[in-house]
Amino acid sequence: MFLLLSATSAHRSYKKLDEYLENDDIESFRHELLRLHQYNQMKWFEQLQNPSLRKNVYKALSAREFAAIFQKLKLKDQVDKVQELEDTYQADVFSAMSTNRLADLFNRLPEHVIHQSIDQMDAEQARTVMQLMKHEEGTAGALMTTEFVSLNKDLTIEQAIEKLRAFADLAETIYYVYVENDQHQLVGVVSLRHLLAGESTKTLEEIMKEEVIQVVQDKDQEDIAKLTKDYDLIAIPVVDDDRHLLGIIMVDEIMDVVEEEATEDLGEFAASRGALGIEISALLAAKKRAPWIMGLLLIGMVTAQIISFFENTLQEVVMLSAFIPLVMGAAGNTGTQTLAVIVRSISNDEVKKGVWKIILRELSAGFMIGICSAAVLLIVIPIFYNGNWPLAFIVGGSVFLALGFATFIGCVIPIIINKLNIDQAVASGPFITTLNDMVSIVIYFLIATSFLQYLQ
Amino acid sequence: MFLLLSATSAHRSYKKLDEYLENDDIESFRHELLRLHQYNQMKWFEQLQNPSLRKNVYKALSAREFAAIFQKLKLKDQVDKVQELEDTYQADVFSAMSTNRLADLFNRLPEHVIHQSIDQMDAEQARTVMQLMKHEEGTAGALMTTEFVSLNKDLTIEQAIEKLRAFADLAETIYYVYVENDQHQLVGVVSLRHLLAGESTKTLEEIMKEEVIQVVQDKDQEDIAKLTKDYDLIAIPVVDDDRHLLGIIMVDEIMDVVEEEATEDLGEFAASRGALGIEISALLAAKKRAPWIMGLLLIGMVTAQIISFFENTLQEVVMLSAFIPLVMGAAGNTGTQTLAVIVRSISNDEVKKGVWKIILRELSAGFMIGICSAAVLLIVIPIFYNGNWPLAFIVGGSVFLALGFATFIGCVIPIIINKLNIDQAVASGPFITTLNDMVSIVIYFLIATSFLQYLQ
């Protein structure tokens, strides 16, 4: 099958699969399903609504074949479907799953299901899964899989290739062979390509690279993603404090991490931390987002108080209130631009290259944008407001100053917060916008009050 | 060398390298440098400020060794350093570079340098590079490398492994073997692990997977990233319209794409499209960002006009102006939350799973957040403003309605814009915020004007 038009040809297969299954034509069903890529197998299974048809799938597939589909499902779907599996089939599916997927699933299943399954599992596998379950989410330990290949340094290339052939089906990757010493410590790595290119009588120790890019089990996933990207790795080994190899993290796991971290950045930016996914319910989304909005409302009350403080000025020239949103908006938007630059550079680690350079660049940019903005206002306001030049100067000057402060706030506060290792969420967009609101309002009314006589 | 503390141990190496180079101890220098990972070699070279020391590096390394470092440098740095290389050394470095890196570089070099280099290059390689240079940035053709392995379907596994051993050093990856028919069309793929696990007398055609996830040369990079993630690929083949294999895209290129696309999302979100990088100058950043700010200022003038329209209402109760920022801010922040959800789900393609479900969820969430926010205001405003219940009801009611509209705007507009295939940037955060500003101001003043009699 040619997958250039993957969507349509896959959908054609899905239709056939539905038909075969409904007509109980198990042989055609198996033939059609198993030639599909596992991702497409999962996609088809995912949309299967009828529980009795799903039962037919379990009957048609071996536990191993179904495990390959099952472990690609979203965790939520896995939890739902687990109950549909008969006890022995369930145990066999679990045994055929990769240990880290199984650990993730177990972390979401009730105690008694886990205990029952563990009892039926191979003791070694059960032990590994229990170990994996202990790792905190977002660390190397939670991302790693234990299906890796490690060989003793004294094996020859020929022996190593022989072993690899045997492992090829079981391991997550055989493209890196990790080399251990007699104490089972990680001492080197040989890529499969170098293994194949090497003379067959040499030992692994002779051809291995001693510089192994590796991480300890509690390493944060963001750092792991950066290492993988920088060093162009397909997999990264995870070790304990004594350099014993515990597992490997595959690049496809890391792609998901990169995606996840980007979503997190945006979420913090938009005061929607943990609420960006569309799969969560409206109630849960509201629960996560409402506190931000309500908190910001309370801060907005402070802004209201500040404006009330200038009630006399407003009483004299009520038109001044028309420009409150404009001044605040300009400051807010500029602060957001700067914040986006800083958030991104913190998350890229670019910020380490030179904090002062970034601050200086942002302030210069803010200064230039301020001048342009003030110029625009000096032209536009007299046109719309019958040649009211004093008003144009008050608003234009306020915007210029407010932009300067906004750039400074949007730039310096997240950097300070990052330095202090306080949770980045505190520095999220709306917080800085609100701070900018207050500062710009004060600037505006101070200037307006000072030059009030020219307005009347 | 043990890289658990990679940063410090790498820095120790960098220091040694600097010393050896200054003392002209070429042998120690080569030994120390070549045992480092290529990324670290590049990192060290990148920070080498002294041009005469760099000359020593070119002398100490073969063109091939230096090419490996050189092609990992940022393009800007490559362009800078190219001029320092002597003509024949330069030509040899170019020849040793991977074709797609060379094409990227050539796209940034002056015509005469390219022509001179092309003349000295292997004709086949020159042709390939010229071909690659034609592809538009952001497409499969621009990302792919031509160093792949493709073999005829009739080869046996044993013959294939033999060929691979010869290729191992040259190809970008040997982990996938692409299988061609006699017309050189892509008909299948065999992973190296299946090759190793298979019986040596079988042909490639017998063991290959016919379902090859592949892309045509003008495919957009965002789609490629999604395919790679979904199908957990290490490389994805690029074909022309006749299914001839043109190249492959490696997963490390795709990781960069994912990063880039995430930055783009955030940039559009913050009205800083293309201006998020910290390496661009303040002037360039200002140039890219100022038009947004100035454009939004002009829209802000419209808001000012709207408020001026309600001057009579304000004249009667000047205190109303104190809550303009609060009402606008609540609407703006809620709109931003919704927008973040939608932008992310458009970019994840999750939006295709059900637009109405997302809209409904967002509106429900907005409704709940609106009720909570109104409740907060009904409690807080009477406390701060001497039991002014009418004011509390006017502000609370306005916030409730404004939040509803803000959710709707933040949700529906980007979806419509996406459907119409208009550039997503138009739907960026500040645009929607500004729209929300106007709507919420109108709501607020309409309510305030209607209930003005209760305020006095």
Whether residue A301 is predicted with pLDDT greater than 90 in this model: the reply is no
Nearest to A340 among B266, B294, B315 (CB): B266
Q: Which of B33, B167, B200, B259 to mutate to test the interface with A (most CBs of A within 10 A)?
A: B259
Question: Quick one: average pLDDT of B84-100?
Answer: 90
Whether residue A444 is predicted with pLDDT greater than 90 in this model: the reply is yes
**How confident is the model at residue B429, as a pLDDT?**
63
**How confident is the model at residue A278, as a pLDDT?**
62
- Is B102 inside any structural domain? yes
Residue among A151, A133, A149 nearest A141 (CA): A133
**How confident is the model at residue B165, as a pLDDT?**
82
Same domain? For A287 and A390 the reply is: yes
B426–chain A nearest CA distance, Å: 15
Same domain? For B169 and B114 the reply is: no
Cα(A431)–Cα(A299) distance, integer angstroms: 9
Q: Which of A250, A274, A304 is the last residue of a domain?
A: A250
Same domain? For B46 and B98 the reply is: yes
Give the dihedral of Cα atoms A376, A379, A380, A382; nearest 10 deg: 150
Q: Which of A369, A437, A438 to mutate to test the interface with B (most CBs of B within 10 A)?
A: A369
Q: Which residue of B has its CA nearest to A407?
A: B286
**How confident is the model at residue A434, as a pLDDT?**
75
Give me chain B's average pLDDT, please. Answer: 86
Question: Quick one: average pLDDT of B258-277?
Answer: 66
Question: Quick one: average pLDDT of B210-215?
Answer: 90
Same domain? For B287 and B423 the reply is: yes
Candidate from A137-141, A164-168, A244-248 with smallest mean pLDDT: A164-168
What's the CATH code of the domain at B245? 3.10.580.10
Taking a contact as any Cβ pair under 8 Å apart, which residues of chain B between 22 and 41 contact chain A?
35-37, 39
Query: Per residue, what are the HEC states of chain B?
Result: CECCCHHHHHHHHHHHHHHHHHCCCHHHHHHHHHCCCHHHHHHHHHCCCCHHHHHHHHHHCCHHHHHHHHCCCCHHHHHHHHCCCCHHHHHHHHHHCCHHHHHHHHCCCCHHHHHHHHHHCCHHHHHHHHHHHCCCCCEHHHHCECCCCEEECCCEHHHHHHHHHHHCCCCCCCCEEEEECCCCEEEEEEEHHHHHHCCCCCEHHHHCECCECCEECCCEHHHHHHHHHHCCCCEEEEECCCCEEEEEEEHHHHHHHHHHHHHHHHHHHCCCCCCCCCCCCHHHHHHHHHHHHHHHHHHHHHHHHHHHHCHHHHHHCHHHHHHHHHHHHHHHHHHHHHHHHHHHHHHCCHHHHCHHHHHHHHHHHHHHHHHHHHHHHHHHHHHHCCCCHHHHHHHHHHHHHHHHHHHHHHHHHHHHHHHCCCCHHHHCHHHHHHHHHHHHHHHHHHHHHHCHHHHC
CB contact (8 A) between residue B278 and residue A361 = yes
CB contact (8 A) between residue B305 and residue A322 = yes
**Residue A72: how many other CB atoms lie within 10 Å:** 19
Cα(B198)–Cα(A310) distance, integer angstroms: 83
The amino acid at residue B392 is A
Residue written as token pair 């091939």: B64
Cα(A17)–Cα(A2) distance, integer angstroms: 18
Pair A332, A439: CB distance under 8 Å: no
- Is A447 inside any structural domain? yes
Q: Which residue of B has its CA nearest to A210?
A: B1
Residue among B439, B431, B437, B438 nearest B268 (CA): B431
- Is A272 inside any structural domain? no
CB contact (8 A) between residue A339 and residue B196 = no
Q: Cα angle at B447 between B381 and B391, to 5 degrees?
A: 20
CB contact (8 A) between residue B344 and residue A266 = yes
pLDDT single digits (tens) B301-320 = 888 889 989 988 988 888 89
Question: Quick one: average pLDDT of A90-111?
Answer: 90
Q: Using CB atoms within 10 A of its CB, is residue B247 exposed (0-12), middle (13-18) or buried (19+)?
A: buried
Cα(B97)–Cα(B66) distance, integer angstroms: 9
Q: Which of A371-380, B309-318, B330-339 has the highest mean pLDDT?
A: A371-380
Question: Quick one: average pLDDT of A367-393?
Answer: 92
**How confident is the model at residue B277, as a pLDDT?**
64
Question: Quick one: average pLDDT of B357-385?
Answer: 91
Residue among A208, A224, A228 nearest A216 (CA): A224
What's the CATH code of the domain at B116? 1.25.60.10
Same domain? For B330 and B394 the reply is: yes
Same domain? For A27 and A125 the reply is: yes
Question: Quick one: average pLDDT of A44-54?
Answer: 91
Question: Quick one: average pLDDT of B391-416?
Answer: 91
B270 pLDDT band, cuts 50/70/90, is low
Same domain? For A41 and A102 the reply is: yes
**How confident is the model at residue A42, as a pLDDT?**
93
**How confident is the model at residue A245, as a pLDDT?**
94
A288 pLDDT band, cuts 50/70/90, is confident
B317–chain A nearest CA distance, Å: 9
Same domain? For A129 and A159 the reply is: no
B431 pLDDT band, cuts 50/70/90, is confident
**How confident is the model at residue A374, as a pLDDT?**
94
Candidate from A159-163, A352-356, B85-89, B296-300 with smallest mean pLDDT: A352-356
Q: Which of B196, B226, B250 is the last residue of a domain?
A: B250
- How far lies A45's CA from each of A20, A53, A62, A63, B39, in Å? 14, 10, 15, 15, 42
Q: How many residues can be counted in chain A?
A: 456
Q: Which residue of A has its CA nearest to B1?
A: A211
- The pair of three-digit structure tokens given for residue A453, joined into one six-digit string: 């006589």
Nearest to B211 among A3, A307, A328 (CB): A3
**How confident is the model at residue A393, as a pLDDT?**
95
A270 pLDDT band, cuts 50/70/90, is low
Q: Which of A195, A309, A337 to mutate to test the interface with B (most CBs of B within 10 A)?
A: A337
CB contact (8 A) between residue B307 and residue A290 = no
Residue among A173, A17, A4 nearest B210 (CA): A4
Pair A449, A313: CB distance under 8 Å: yes
Q: Which of A81, A105, A136 is the last residue of a domain?
A: A136
Same domain? For A294 and A410 the reply is: yes
B365–chain A nearest CA distance, Å: 5
**How confident is the model at residue A279, as a pLDDT?**
67
Taking a contact as any Cβ pair under 8 Å apart, which residues of chain B between 163 and 202 contact chain A?
164-165, 168-169, 174-175, 192-194, 196-197
Same domain? For B98 and B35 the reply is: yes
- Is B438 inside any structural domain? yes
How far is it between the farthest Cα atoms of chain B? 96
B428 pLDDT band, cuts 50/70/90, is low
Domain limits for position B169: 150-250
Whether residue A34 is predicted with pLDDT greater than 50 in this model: the reply is yes
- The pair of three-digit structure tokens given for residue A237, joined into one six-digit string: 């080994």
Question: Quick one: average pLDDT of B151-157?
Answer: 94
Same domain? For A156 and A130 the reply is: no
A3 pLDDT band, cuts 50/70/90, is very low
Whether residue A1 is predicted with pLDDT greater than 50 in this model: the reply is no
Taking a contact as any Cβ pair under 8 Å apart, which residues of chain B between 102 and 161 contact chain A?
161
**How confident is the model at residue B42, as a pLDDT?**
93
Nearest to B369 among A228, A256, A293 (CB): A293
**How confident is the model at residue B25, as a pLDDT?**
92
Question: Quick one: average pLDDT of A358-383?
Answer: 91
Cα(B412)–Cα(B410) distance, integer angstroms: 6
**Residue B329: how many other CB atoms lie within 10 Å:** 30
**How confident is the model at residue A230, as a pLDDT?**
87
Same domain? For A288 and A397 the reply is: yes
CB contact (8 A) between residue B304 and residue A322 = yes
Q: Using CB atoms within 10 A of its CB, is residue A163 exposed (0-12), middle (13-18) or buried (19+)?
A: middle
- Is B257 inside any structural domain? no
Pair A174, B193: CB distance under 8 Å: yes
- Is A55 inside any structural domain? yes
Q: What is the ipTM of this complex?
A: 0.72
Contacts of A365 in chain B (CB under 8 A): 282-283, 285-286, 289
Whether residue B344 is predicted with pLDDT greater than 80 in this model: the reply is no
Question: Quick one: average pLDDT of A27-45?
Answer: 91
CB contact (8 A) between residue A329 and residue B434 = yes
Contacts of B369 in chain A (CB under 8 A): 286, 289-290, 293
- Is A145 inside any structural domain? no
Number of domains in chain A: 3
How far is it between the farthest Cα atoms of chain A? 96
What's the CATH code of the domain at B425? 1.10.357.20
**How confident is the model at residue B123, as a pLDDT?**
87
- Is A255 inside any structural domain? no
Q: Which helix (H) or strand (E) holds A150?
A: strand A150-152
Whether residue A394 is predicted with pLDDT greater than 80 in this model: the reply is yes
CB burial of A105-117 (b: ≥16 within 10 Å; e: otherwise) equals bbeeeeeeebeeb
- CB proximity B325 to A under 8 Å: yes
- CB proximity A372 to B under 8 Å: yes
